[in-house]
Amino acid sequence: MRRAIVTGAGRGLGRAIALALAESGADVTAVARTAADLETLEGCRALACDVTDPAALAALPEADILVASAGANVPEPFLDVAPETFDRVLALNLRATFFTAQAVARGMVARGRGAIVLVSSQMGHVGAPNRTVYCASKHAVEGLTKALAVELAPSGVRVNAVAPTYIRTPMTAPFLAERAFERATVAAIPLGRIGEPDDVTGAVLFLCSPAAALITGTSLVVDGGYTAQ
């Protein structure tokens, strides 16, 4: 049985990914900072862990699959961004992703196999107003994906990213609650709808599976055509 770790599994995309991997037969360790967020996550082992603390990552078990899904977004005009906001978003979206991958990849390299999927965003491929910090963090994740893929390939470890458009999750709910914002977002997506978590889980399962055995260093954009324009 494949062993998988999913961070950010308490809610949103991370939760959906953890459940999908468990349903596919993986032995899933679901990781979130708050233990209460994991209590109703069926079919997974719960592990409360602050992934922004590199020392805490020693508690992560060995795994064949890592999906680094913990992330945050604080939309603000560029001229108003405070250093504290920049540091908080980069600490979770980039620094935590980097050191989580490092902690888990050590075991993968020792065993000569593994699949890592970093949850990026369509904003890792384009720019957008009021999202300078988020875009910077996700562009960095895209670069990290490529660099890790090249470095870890000789050890049999594949590294890819999945880059969703706006998906209905607790993180995007406040933005999409503004009707004008939702209408403009739908209009910018050629397929004409906001994504659902299930739209992303299939992409993650594919990248983790033997069907993607020759795929590494790429980003699978699940965006309804947003970045094709």
Nearest to 102 by CA among 148, 34, 56: 148
Beta bridge partners, 40, equal: none
Q: Is 225 left (phi over 0), alpha (psi -120 to 50) or beta?
A: left
Q: Among 134, 146, 166, 226, which one carries the catalytic annotation?
A: 134
Q: Give the strands of the sheet with 65-68, arranged side by side.
A: 44-48, 27-32, 3-7, 65-68, 114-119, 157-164, 219-222
Give the span between the Cα atoms of 149 and 16, in whole angstroms: 25
Whether 134 sits among the annotated catalytic residues: the reply is yes
Residue 72 is given by DSSP the state -
Active site residues: 134, 138
